[in-house]
A and B are shown apart, each in its own frame.
Chain A
Amino acid sequence: MDESKKIINQLQDKKYDAGFTTNIEQDIFPPGLNEDVIRKISEIKEEPEWFLEWRLKAFRFWQKQKMPNWAHLDFEPIDFQAISYYAAPKNTPKYNSLDEVDPELLDTYKRLGIPLEEQKILAGVAVDVVFDSTSVHTTFKKELEKLGIIFCSMSEAIKEHPELVKKYIGSVVPYSDNIISALNTAVFSDGSFVYIPKGVRSPVELSSYFRINAINTGQFERTLIIADEDSYVSYLEGCTAPQRDENQFHAAVVEIVALKNAEVKYSTVQNWYPGNKEGKGGIYNFVVKRGMCKGDYSKIFWTQVETGSAITWKYPSTLLMGDNSISEFYSVAVTNNMQQADTGSKMIHFGKNTRSRIVSKGISIGKSQNSYRGLVDIKKTAENSRNYTQCDSLLIGDKCGAHTFPYINVDNQTATVEHEATTTKIAEDQIFYCQQRGLDEEKAVALIVNGFAREVMAKLPMEFAAEAKKLLEITLEGSVG
Chain B
Amino acid sequence: MLKIRNLHATIENKEILRGINLDINHGEVHAIMGPNGSGKSTLSAVLAGREIYKVTKGEVLFDGKNLFDLSPEERAREGLFLAFQYPVEIPGVSIVNFLKTALEEKRKHLGLEPMSPSEFLKMMREKKELVEFDSKLENRAVNAGFSGGEKKKNEILQMAFLDPKLAILDETDSGLDIDALRIVANGVNKLKNENNSFVVITHYQRLLDYIVPDFVHVVFNGRIVKSGDKNLALELEEKGYDWIKKEVDELNN
Contact = CB atoms under 8 A, between A and B. Distances in A.
Question: In the complex, which of the residues B71, B82, B102 has the most CB atoms of chain A within 10 Å of its own CB atom?
Answer: B102
A2 B51 CA distance: 8
B92 A435 contact: no
B102 A439 contact: yes
A460 B191 CA distance: 41
A452 B142 CA distance: 12
B115 interface: no
A440 B92 contact: no
A432 B158 CA distance: 15
A427 interface: yes
Nearest to A1: B51
A448 interface: yes
Interface string B84-101: 100111111100011001
In the A-B complex, the 5 residue pairs with the closest CB atoms = A451-B92, A451-B93, A438-B105, A437-B102, A454-B92
A32 B60 CA distance: 71
A436 B82 contact: yes
Contact of B106 (A432, A438, A440): A438
Interface residue tally on B, bucketed by range: 20 to 34
Contacts of A436: 48-49, 72-73, 76, 81-82, 84
User: Chain A: interface secondary structure?
Assistant: helix
Given A430-B88, A450-B93, A435 B141 contact: no
Contacts of A427: 88
Question: In the complex, which of the residues A430, A434, A450, A455 has the most CB atoms of chain B within 10 Å of its own CB atom?
Answer: A434
A427 B90 CA distance: 10
Contacts of B105: 437-440, 443
Interface string A1-25: 1110000000000000000000000
24 contacts: A432-B51, A433-B84, A433-B88, A433-B90, A435-B73, A436-B72, A436-B76, A436-B81, A437-B101, A437-B105, A438-B77, A438-B105, A438-B109, A438-B162, A439-B102, A443-B105, A447-B90, A447-B97, A447-B101, A448-B90, A450-B92, A451-B92, A451-B93, A452-B92
B50 interface: yes
A72 to B, nearest CB: 26
Interface string A412-453: 000000000000000101101111111111010001101111
A437 to B, nearest CB: 4
Given A2-B51, A451-B92, A454-B92, A439 B101 contact: yes
Contacts of B81: 436
Contacts of A430: 88-90
B1 to A, nearest CB: 18
A440 B76 contact: no
Nearest to A433: B88
Given A438-B105, A439-B73, 19 more contacts: A1-B52, A3-B51, A429-B88, A432-B50, A432-B72, A432-B88, A433-B88, A434-B90, A435-B73, A435-B76, A436-B81, A437-B102, A438-B73, A438-B109, A438-B162, A439-B105, A451-B93, A453-B92, A454-B93
Contact of A440 (B49, B50, B71, B90): B71
A45 B144 CA distance: 56
Interface residues of A, number: 25
A338 to B, nearest CB: 27
Interface of A: 1-3, 427, 429-430, 432-441, 443, 447-448, 450-455
Nearest to A441: B73
Contacts of A455: 92
B76 to A, nearest CB: 4
Contact of A437 (B49, B98, B141): B98
Nearest to A451: B92
A438 B74 CA distance: 6
Given A437-B102, A443-B101, A451 B71 contact: no
Contact of A438 (B84, B97, B102): B102
Interface of B: 48-52, 71-73, 76-77, 81-82, 84, 87-93, 97-98, 101-102, 105-106, 109, 141, 158, 162
Contacts of B89: 430
Contacts of B101: 437, 439, 443, 447
Contacts of A450: 92-93
B112 to A, nearest CB: 13
Contacts of B71: 435, 440
A448 B93 contact: yes
A319 to B, nearest CB: 31
Nearest to B161: A437
A467 B84 CA distance: 35
A478 to B, nearest CB: 15
A451 B90 CA distance: 7
Nearest to B78: A438
Contacts of A433: 84, 87-88, 90
B90 A435 contact: no
Contacts of B73: 435-436, 438-441
A443 B105 CA distance: 10
Contacts of A1: 51-52
Nearest to A361: B92
Nearest to B143: A433
A48 to B, nearest CB: 51
A437 B91 CA distance: 16
A448 B73 CA distance: 16
B39 to A, nearest CB: 19
B162 to A, nearest CB: 7
B91 A451 contact: yes
Nearest to A432: B50
Nearest to B76: A438
Contacts of A452: 91-92
B93 A447 contact: yes
Nearest to A434: B90
Contacts of A429: 88
A453 B109 CA distance: 28
B85 to A, nearest CB: 11
A455 B91 CA distance: 11
Nearest to A429: B88
A436 B48 CA distance: 7
A455 B90 CA distance: 14
B242 to A, nearest CB: 34
B162 A437 contact: yes
A137 B93 CA distance: 40
Contacts of B72: 432, 435-436
A433 B72 CA distance: 10
Contacts of A439: 73, 101-102, 105
